[in-house]
Chain A
């Protein structure tokens, strides 16, 4: 009987290994990105895709904001578009148009509606490289000082937004308010208006 039991050994070992594999499948392969959290938005000058005016990454700061990396050639970006339009009302949403042709990108925004306050054009992917973009779509949450709070690679869903982004956004907003209250009141509104001016 003992030797019969021993024959079950391969089965048990394999089941154990299978369970580990199963656990591994649930992992987000990009979770090593946690290392990049806390980094600040690199300073960068680009053109606003919408009207061609120059825009600097520094001008996005001032309140917590979301940066969404997208391109007109990216099917998943289209899939998350309705959600972005919904979010646009609740949080300052900026776009980073990644390795795209300007005309194609503008045509797509006209067709589907523009949720972005401003879109930084990044035709050769240089800013994306500095940000450490894996591919489109990617969504970043920055606080008022431009420090990275959260990032998500792949299509953004409502669930991911609620779980990973919304709590951090609320906290960042609270922090920003405390800070704004202690800062000279003249500066904060001016940044806010300059950010809003870039909207078409």
Chain B
């Protein structure tokens, strides 16, 4: 019963969304404010309907209703409740439903927070959001409805993929999807701007918080995903340049570029084309991300649900949206040259360079991700593009970007702020010395295996940190530190912290494999790992062996590690849970291997210096973005635009 209700509310939402997608255009044509106004309540109703559908699916999971085939495939009565809820988006059908819900949610938010936005623009934005929700709603209904029944229902479900049974996976996909989908709002704003012919700073101003919000969510999603890969997959890595990971990185890179382009467009009225194109492509790449995960075009460890026909339809949808958008762009974009003048050494110029670098980085990742497929489809043979390609291309680009970021405190419109020679020299000097010292510290342990690029990364990171923080030492600077500036400071600091972590983990990780048994310790660098014992564990839907290891440094116990090997009986899958002892300076990380005897196990032992800093940097970026979002509160304040003033314009536009 619940599943049918869910299907019905999804059906209703799709139909109303299409209505929301058509009525405003009609309203514009007929100059009817009533038709224009109905977009807002429709958007709200849609969001509520989609939420209802999602909750109904969740309650199907809660009741273990295995006649719903989606529930039967992704849950089991022994599965803990939290994971049952995560299973709502654990498979293709459910995640598409969540995708549509997220679209509806953003649409409703636009409707709620648009009091100070030109109603004609809002109506167009809501109409486009309605069309997108309607299209994806129909897709979900036709090709991947999670509410399908099967009779007779099985007595027991197949259980959720054990890899997904993890707290990180409860929140990772929703965050990622909220981020992906949020860029739909920017896409809609770009379309509205093109359609209305209003390509000015005001539209950029209205579009900006949405880009920022989605960017924060996307960052959170990527950070969580990488954290999950680190501690759940047990491969000891945090980023694998896997197609699906790249699929989330691509919109992030372009979204970052979009954020910066929006700033310049809002304040200076230039980069209008860049804003439009970036809005279009960021959303397209978000859709491509969903498509890649779902289609099996690129084989990947993450492709949990693979079905080409669904992928084909998604690709068609994406192609339709992109073609319409770019055609509109080609026909309606302003071809007059912008009148603002500036040189490269100005905020406009520097941000422009950053945008360009981000686009190049995005293009090269895109190329690396899809090249194998294109190569194959041209019948040139098979090949795979791996981490070496991405590292060679991406790392120098990232370092250039960070070097640009060091100029952040000096950025002023039209020209960079002047600074004394001391201020100019101090941060690079600090970076040079600090980076050198870090490398020397590794040399001392006799284990220096670092590369030049690693040393360079250390130097640039420290240079960036110094140039961001040193200006704060001046007495006047703290007074000038608005919430806005603090936000961007934190976000860019996050990049430096993240880069520092990446450089240490990539260059100075220690790793060893050994058989550990009682009385047979293993020495890895300065650490001695000792086998302490093992115990059987019975979890809710798995059984496990837990090994306890103690780690000693200079004969003092500093940590205890408890790696596990779990056996999930329903899917007959074995999972290795690594044992991790985390520290600010480095993580100790152990993965179990084969059992070699009654009390002996093969293991892989890692020491990962500054591993936590990678995610700490991500957190800083998120915090920075959130601060900037909060600093823009006036946008959400309730002072409606005089409705009367817009009527003459409405009539004018209708002509």
Contact = CB atoms under 8 A, between A and B. Distances in A.
Given A24-B376, A25-B312, A15 B323 contact: yes
Dominant secondary structure at the B interface: helix
A4 interface: yes
B374 A24 contact: yes
B333 interface: yes
B315 A22 contact: yes
Nearest to B335: A3
A134 B104 CA distance: 39
Interface in B244-294: 273, 277, 280, 284
A25 B297 contact: yes
Contact of A18 (B312, B322, B330): B322
Contact of B299 (A8, A15, A18, A29): A29
Interface in A1-46: 3-4, 7-8, 10-11, 14-15, 17-18, 20-27, 29, 31-32
Nearest to B312: A25
Given A4-B335, A15-B323, A31-B382, A21 B297 contact: yes
Interface residues on A, range: 20 to 34
B373 interface: yes
B504 interface: no
B308 interface: yes
A116 to B, nearest CB: 24
B377 interface: yes
A29 B296 contact: yes
Given A4-B335, A7-B329, A18-B319, A25 B376 contact: no
B221 interface: no
Residue in B297, B299, B318, B326 with the greatest tally of chain A CB atoms within 10 Å: B326
Nearest to A7: B330
A8 B333 CA distance: 10
Contacts of B323: 11, 14-15
Nearest to A23: B377
Contacts, number: 65
B629 to A, nearest CB: 29
A25 B311 contact: yes
Contact of B329 (A10, A20, A27): A10
A99 B573 CA distance: 12
Contact of B330 (A8, A20, A21, A23): A8
Contacts of B522: none
Interface in B565-586: 572
Contacts of B235: none
Nearest to A15: B323
A140 to B, nearest CB: 20
A36 to B, nearest CB: 12
B626 to A, nearest CB: 32
Contacts of A27: 373, 376-377
A14 B322 contact: yes
A71 to B, nearest CB: 11
A7 B335 contact: yes
Contact of A10 (B277, B373, B376): B277
B315 A21 contact: yes
* Interface bracket on B: 20 to 34
A14 B297 CA distance: 18
B377 A11 contact: no
Contacts of B562: none
B327 interface: yes
A26 B377 contact: yes
A46 B61 CA distance: 42
A8 B335 CA distance: 12
A20 B326 contact: no
Nearest to A5: B330
Contacts of B277: 10
B430 interface: no
Interface in B16-71: none
A15 B329 CA distance: 14
Given A4-B335, A32-B382, A11 B327 contact: yes
A24 B379 CA distance: 10
A11 B329 contact: yes
Contacts of B295: 25
Nearest to B336: A3
A25 B333 CA distance: 33
A32 B381 CA distance: 8
Interface in B297-332: 297, 299, 308, 311-312, 315, 318-319, 322-323, 326-327, 329-331
A45 B522 CA distance: 40
Interface in A148-186: none
Interface in B389-431: none
Contacts of B601: none
Contacts of B239: none
A14 B326 contact: yes
Contact of B308 (A11, A20, A23, A25): A25
Contacts of B378: 23
B230 interface: no
B527 interface: no
Contacts of B315: 18, 21-22, 25
Interface of A: 3-4, 7-8, 10-11, 14-15, 17-18, 20-27, 29, 31-32, 99
Per CB-CB distance, the 4 closest pairs between chain A and chain B, nearest first, are A23-B377, A11-B326, A24-B373, A24-B377
10 contacts: A15-B323, A17-B370, A20-B377, A21-B297, A21-B315, A22-B315, A24-B297, A25-B295, A25-B312, A99-B572
Given A14-B326, A24-B297, 20 more contacts: A3-B335, A7-B330, A8-B330, A11-B323, A11-B327, A11-B329, A15-B323, A17-B370, A18-B318, A18-B319, A20-B374, A21-B315, A21-B370, A23-B374, A23-B377, A23-B378, A24-B370, A24-B374, A25-B295, A31-B376
